[in-house]
Amino acid sequence: MRGRLELFTTAEMARADGLAVSRDIASRELMENAGAAVAAAAVAMIEAAGHTPASGRPVLVLCGRGDNGGDGFVAARRLADLGLVVRVALMGSMSQLRGDAALAAADWLGPIETASRDSLRLRADLVIDALLGAGLTGPLRNDAATMITAINDCGVPVLSIDVPSGLDGTTGAIRSIAVEAARTITFVRRKPGHLLLPGRLVCGQVDVADIGMPESIVADIAPHTFANHPDLWRVHLPQNRVAQHKYDRGHAVVVAGPPSTGGAARLGARAALRIGAGVVSLATPPEALPIHACHLTAVMVHAIDGAAGLGEMLADRRKNAVLIGPGNGIGSQTLEATIAALRSGAATVIDADAITSAADNPEHLFANIGHSSVRQVVLTPHEGEFARLFPGLTGSKLERAQTAAAMSGAIIVLKGPDTVIASREGRAAINENAPPTLATAGSGDVLAGMITGLLAQGVPGFEAAAAAVWMHGEAANAFGPGLIAEDLPELLPAVLRQLSRAN
């Protein structure tokens, strides 16, 4: 995956195309290479379905007016040269084609139908969707919506070029309707819309084709959004040393709440310990201490008296990372304890109730996040908590997370099936390995504890958050159905061994 983690917005892809042309790489050559890659993917799909070029059933290539349609014309010609039966249908007229797309259409020597529902009534082995490109930002035209509906209703596997038509490649938004592809082939790099929901749900398998774009152009574009993968953060993971002391691996503190909700904090503490923190302490109200002491062994339990007691506990600088929020209760006491954690200078993970407790005055929280003594702060909201803390933010999930990181000064982990990790400097990662089984009570508490445990070991905030999110998903995938939150920490050693072997 190294070198393929960058994600290109549609604007960045357009810049890359422009840079290629400025370096004497003909745009027509790039289109020819793209069409050839589409043709190869089409042949692979047909063969995988058990069909052969001699079946006599056609490949239907549906072309639009832009460069995406030009790629489709090239693919059609390449497939015909291989002996396949190919039909081409154009949404629009030949007179509307411009530039390379017009040249590619002129090279197609077969008939060109007018794209309509009738185009899909003759059974085909495969439909190639070359109608619309990744840069769609507005509503669909009626003719495009009609064609997309007909494609989805036809029952034939679809190969989409760049993105399924109807999908915004930058935001992952669907403009009323999108093609439901079995496979998507894109070029140079994936787009954020291939990973963000709901776009990911209509892309099928996504493959990236090399079309002759030099890697130096990717470096010049310097995209700041990535797919979350170990190659993004592996070098920052802790390396155990023979002479290491437990305090060299950090001392994480997890703040607990009332006795009735203490399980959330215990989940976080167990996760922090399992991911490698040398020491983990649970800071609890005195009345909850006996309950925690009955449940915990390796995690130490300390009674504290509110925010002042937490501040005193964190005055010991060996206690270098703190998690607050899981099961703490919503209100001023939790907010005061959160501020105490921030002012201590320990790396701080703010989760769950601590996020909602700050919703009435988020600027107060943000001001304390910006305090000069704070080293690393991570906010881990789900969508409901995010809306309470950052009301009125619009845009894609990626854009909202990036804006929130800039506003708050914290690293944002905006959770969900497509969790986005964003830093205040603009870097972002989109996660794609989380299974549906993570939608279970307590899994977020475990994730927050994992981040805290990595911070305690000195992993930088963005990398700690991204690594924990990926490992969280990987652990859940390894377990499969029936997962509950208590299972997740116990799965971490196997995930950590997997990462260690890959070094």
pLDDT of residue 121: 85
- Count how many domains the chain has: 2
- Asked if pLDDT for residue 57 goes beyond 90, the answer is no
- Asked if pLDDT for residue 243 goes beyond 70, the answer is no
Last residue of a domain, one of 199, 223, 247: 223
Q: CA-CA distance, 379 to 325, in Å (whole number)?
A: 10
Q: CA-CA distance, 139 to 220, in Å (whole number)?
A: 32
pLDDT band for position 499 (cuts 50, 70, 90): very high
pLDDT band for position 33 (cuts 50, 70, 90): very high
Examine the domain organization and report whether 75 and 19 are in the same domain. yes
Instruction: Give me the DSSP letters along 32-83.
Output: HHHHHHHHHHHHHHHHHTT--GGG-PPEEEEE-SSHHHHHHHHHHHHHHHTT
Q: What is the pLDDT of residues 443-465, one digit of tens each?
A: 999 999 999 999 999 999 999 99
pLDDT band for position 240 (cuts 50, 70, 90): confident
- Asked if pLDDT for residue 237 goes beyond 90, the answer is yes
Q: Using the CB atoms, write b or e for 320-329: b if 16+ within 10 Å.
A: bbbbbbbbbb
Examine the domain organization and report whether 191 and 236 are in the same domain. no
Q: What is the DSSP letter of 139?
A: P
Q: What is the pLDDT of residues 405-448, one digit of tens each?
A: 999 999 999 999 999 999 999 999 999 999 999 999 999 999 99
Q: What is the pLDDT of residues 201-218, one digit of tens each?
A: 999 999 999 999 999 999
User: Which residue shows structure tokens 């400097």?
Assistant: 425
Q: Strand, helix or coil at 180?
A: coil
Examine the domain organization and report whether 287 and 434 are in the same domain. yes
Examine the domain organization and report whether 197 and 294 are in the same domain. no
Which residues, at least 6 apart from 312, have a Cβ–Cβ distance to it below 8 Å?
304
Average pLDDT estimate for 219-225: 96
pLDDT of residue 501: 85
- Asked if pLDDT for residue 116 goes beyond 90, the answer is yes
Q: What is the pLDDT of residues 314-358, one digit of tens each?
A: 999 999 999 999 999 999 999 999 999 999 999 999 999 999 999
Q: CA-CA distance, 138 to 170, in Å (whole number)?
A: 13
Over the chain, what is the mean pLDDT?
95
- CATH for 282: 3.40.1190.20
Last residue of a domain, one of 173, 190, 223: 223
Average pLDDT estimate for 156-168: 97
Q: Using the CB atoms, write b or e for 190-223: b if 16+ within 10 Å.
A: bbbbbbbeebbebbbebbebebebeeebbeebeb
Find the domain containing 359 and state its range: 230-502
Last residue of a domain, one of 190, 223, 256: 223
Q: CA-CA distance, 302 to 280, in Å (whole number)?
A: 11
Least Cα distance to 192 among 464, 401, 396, 402 occurs for 396
Instruction: Tell whether 486 is covered by a domain.
Output: yes
Residue 440, Cβ neighbours under 10 Å: how many?
A: 17
- Cβ atoms 208, 189 nearer than 8 A: yes
Instruction: Tell whether 4 is covered by a domain.
Output: no
Least Cα distance to 157 among 53, 78, 73, 45 occurs for 45
pLDDT band for position 127 (cuts 50, 70, 90): very high
Q: CA-CA distance, 436 to 262, in Å (whole number)?
A: 25
Which residues, at least 6 apart from 48, have a Cβ–Cβ distance to it below 8 Å?
none
Average pLDDT estimate for 370-374: 66
Examine the domain organization and report whether 259 and 367 are in the same domain. yes
Query: For 108-112, 237-241, 284-288, 388-392, which range has the lowest pLDDT when averaged over its residues?
Result: 237-241
Instruction: List the structure tokens of 275.
Output: 């991911």
Q: What is the pLDDT of residues 255-292, one digit of tens each?
A: 999 999 999 999 999 999 999 999 999 999 999 999 99
pLDDT of residue 374: 63
- Asked if pLDDT for residue 247 goes beyond 90, the answer is no
Instruction: Tell whether 1 is covered by a domain.
Output: no
What Rg, from alpha-carbon coordinates, does the chain have? 26
Examine the domain organization and report whether 339 and 479 are in the same domain. yes
pLDDT of residue 201: 98
End-to-end CA distance of the chain: 13
Instruction: List the structure tokens of 209.
Output: 């084709």
Instruction: Give me the DSSP letters along 81-137.
Output: HTT--EEEEESS-GGG--HHHHHHHHH--S-EEEPSGGGGTS--SEEEEES--TT--
Instruction: Tell whether 368 is covered by a domain.
Output: yes
Instruction: Tell whether 3 is covered by a domain.
Output: no
Q: Using the CB atoms, write b or e for 455-481: b if 16+ within 10 Å.
A: bbbbbbbbbbbbbbbbbbbbbbbebee
Instruction: List the structure tokens of 440.
Output: 């279970």
Kindly tell me the sign of the dihedral angle through the C-alpha atoms of 381, 386, 389, 394.
positive
Which residues, at least 6 apart from 365, have a Cβ–Cβ distance to it below 8 Å?
335, 338, 339, 350, 358, 389, 408
Instruction: Tell whether 56 is covered by a domain.
Output: yes
Residue 275's alpha-carbon distances to 245, 246, 284, 359, 475, in angstroms, are 16, 13, 22, 30, 12
- Cβ atoms 276, 499 nearer than 8 A: no
pLDDT of residue 78: 98
pLDDT of residue 134: 82
User: Which residue shows structure tokens 């990236």?
Assistant: 208
Torsion of CA 44, 34, 136, 423, to 10 degrees: 90
pLDDT band for position 54 (cuts 50, 70, 90): low
Average pLDDT estimate for 212-225: 95
Torsion region of 195: left, alpha or beta (phi above 0 gives left; psi -120 to 50 gives alpha): alpha
Examine the domain organization and report whether 171 and 281 are in the same domain. no
Q: CA-CA distance, 119 to 418, in Å (whole number)?
A: 36
- Cβ atoms 384, 352 nearer than 8 A: no
Residue 307's alpha-carbon distances to 182, 304, 344, 368, 455, in angstroms, are 54, 8, 11, 15, 22
Examine the domain organization and report whether 49 and 134 are in the same domain. yes
Examine the domain organization and report whether 92 and 212 are in the same domain. yes
Q: CA-CA distance, 244 to 365, in Å (whole number)?
A: 36
Instruction: Give me the DSSP letters along 366-406.
Output: HHHHT-TT---EEE---HHHHHHHSTT--S-HHHHHHHHHH
pLDDT of residue 3: 46
- CATH for 48: 3.40.50.10260
Query: For 134-148, 223-237, 256-270, 281-295, which range has the lowest pLDDT when averaged over its residues?
Result: 134-148
> In terms of DSSP bridges, do strands 347-350 and 377-379 run parallel, antiparallel, or are they unpaired?
parallel
Q: What is the pTM of this model?
A: 0.96
Examine the domain organization and report whether 216 and 268 are in the same domain. no
Examine the domain organization and report whether 207 and 248 are in the same domain. no
Instruction: Tell whether 334 is covered by a domain.
Output: yes
Q: What is the pLDDT of residues 59-94, one digit of tens each?
A: 999 999 999 999 999 999 999 999 999 999 999 999
Examine the domain organization and report whether 186 and 244 are in the same domain. no
pLDDT of residue 373: 59
- Asked if pLDDT for residue 296 goes beyond 50, the answer is yes
- Asked if pLDDT for residue 245 goes beyond 80, the answer is no
Instruction: Tell whether 81 is covered by a domain.
Output: yes
